[in-house]
Amino acid sequence: MTGRALILDFGGVVTRTLFETHDVTERALGLAPGSLTWRGPFDPATDPVWVSMQKREITERDYWMTRTQEVGRLVGEEWTDMKTFVQRARGADAELVLRPEARDAILKAKAAGIRLAILSNELDLFYGVEFRKRFPLIDLFEIIVDATYTKILKPDPRAYELVLSELDLPREACVFVDDQKKNIEGAEAVKLPCVHFDVTRPAEGYATALTMLGL
């Protein structure tokens, strides 16, 4: 099969990060404004746990489990999975989570005949199957490779090879976008063209990816 493909990580790339929606989370959970102070990449000085993850002292899943348990305690509950955090913080409004820049880029790519795929470490693990089904534009993605089920986490080379195999495209015809440096390094190791997505400058990341695909 010929063509080109845009391969996207989900959390942070297609969605707005939980760092960007503290006000929404606080309202949804009945917390006082300003209760959530960790800002991850938007202000690493506020977030030593994030810094530890960037140093690879802990994993991304470790980071989010720490935050899940912490926020659960703030509302007097014991939360044991990220899905609880995401769904309680954002409720049933999947539209609220979609990054506007992602919507624009996805629609532009689709209109140009570029195929769309998701390569995620935790799509259903964090967001849940029902949330994914309601997510805007999800039907435009013909392939979803989710380590929730494959158990092969980026940056394992097999994760990238799996999505390339399902696309049945040469890697040079694809562009992979992810916000975690270690996952970008994994893509570089298998010579998959990629964009290190800066969640603080989302429009630039998508513009770069689309340019690489000839748009």
The stretch 40-59 carries a mean pLDDT of 95
Q: What is the pLDDT of residues 143-187, one digit of tens each?
A: 999 999 999 999 999 999 999 999 999 999 999 999 999 999 999
Q: What is the pLDDT of residues 190-207, one digit of tens each?
A: 999 999 999 999 999 999
pLDDT-above-70 percentage for the chain: 98
Q: Average per-residue pLDDT in the chain?
A: 94
User: What is the pLDDT at residue 1?
Assistant: 44
Question: Which pLDDT band holds residue 92 (cuts at 50, 70, 90)?
Answer: low
Structure token pair of residue 96: 């609220």
Neighbouring-strand partners of residue 145: 119
User: What is the pLDDT at residue 152?
Assistant: 98
User: What is the pLDDT at residue 137?
Assistant: 94
CATH code, residues 5-16+97-212:
3.40.50.1000
Q: What is the pLDDT of residues 74-88, one digit of tens each?
A: 999 999 988 899 888
Q: Where are the domains of the chain?
A: 5-16+97-212, 22-93
